[in-house]
Amino acid sequence: MHIPSSTTLEIDVLTFSDALKGSEEKNYNTEKWLYVPDFYSEYRYILGTRGKNPLICIGINPSTAEPDNLDNTLKSVERIALGNGFDSFIMFNVYAQRATSPKDMEKELNPLLHRENMKAFNYVLSLSENKPCIWAAWGTIINERDYLADCVLDMIEIGKGYGAKWFSAGAKSKKGGHPHHPLYLKKDSCLDEFDVVSYCESLRKV
């Protein structure tokens, strides 16, 4: 379980470009894993496997997962990605601060962390040989902080530049139409097209 030791404003946050450069020594297979930063910290930009056709899964914020040490949510993400014909998966998050319980996320958005996270998202989208496929998978957790919906809107705009296609899996919540979280999905769950723009518009009306 990860409980933030402080807000991210109180720590030194690497820019995405600096984090992408990485450290000299890594304790995982870099030919298999994409992990930025490449060490455990209070934030995580990217975690996934390398491939030409990744499924980009979007959660709210990272927990404890690392290369070769996936939590149950990430194990489900990998199963569903492979089961839907993708050769890899990338776990990305609306906000990069690590916190196993979303209730422990910082109350106010850190503009630096968000800006660098969006640079990371732009990079993630560039990895797909074809139009990126994005799986919205954050459940009702998006309601935990007011700034999260605005972060998603920024992601939508970045995705437009790549012709990104958005999907969900499983039943949406009856209240709010939130896309299902991966953890309790059946392993053979299929992806369905997701109108993320209409969804975000409905969020802003609440």
Tens digit of each residue's pLDDT (9 = 90 or more) over 144-192: 999 999 999 999 999 999 999 999 999 999 998 999 999 889 888 999 9
Tell me: the pLDDT tens digits for 77-130?
999 999 999 999 999 999 999 999 999 999 999 999 999 999 999 999 999 999
DSSP assigned state of 45: S
Say if CB 193 and CB 164 are below 8 A apart.
no
Which two tokens mark 39?
A: 């060490």
Query: What's the pLDDT at 190?
Result: 96
Query: What's the pLDDT at 206?
Result: 56
Query: For residue 188, how many other CB atoms are within 10 A of its CB?
Result: 9
Say if CB 47 and CB 65 are below 8 A apart.
yes
Q: Is the pLDDT of residue 29 over 60?
A: yes
Helix (H) or strand (E) holding 48: strand 46-49
Say if CB 131 and CB 162 are below 8 A apart.
yes
Q: What CA–CA distances, in Å, run from 205 to 47, 131, 171, 177?
A: 33, 30, 22, 13
Q: Is the pLDDT of residue 24 over 80?
A: no
| pLDDT classification of 194: cutoffs 50, 70, 90 | very high
Query: What's the pLDDT at 118?
Result: 98
Say if CB 57 and CB 77 are below 8 A apart.
yes
Burial of 119 (0-12, 13-18, 19+ CB in 10 A): middle
- The number of residues making up the chain comes to 206
Q: Nearest to residue 120, comparing CAs of 87, 150, 93?
A: 93
Query: What's the pLDDT at 35?
Result: 97
Averaged pLDDT score across all residues of the chain: 95
Euclidean distance between CA atoms 72 and 175, whole angstroms: 25
Query: What's the pLDDT at 158?
Result: 98
Q: Is the pLDDT of residue 203 over 90?
A: no
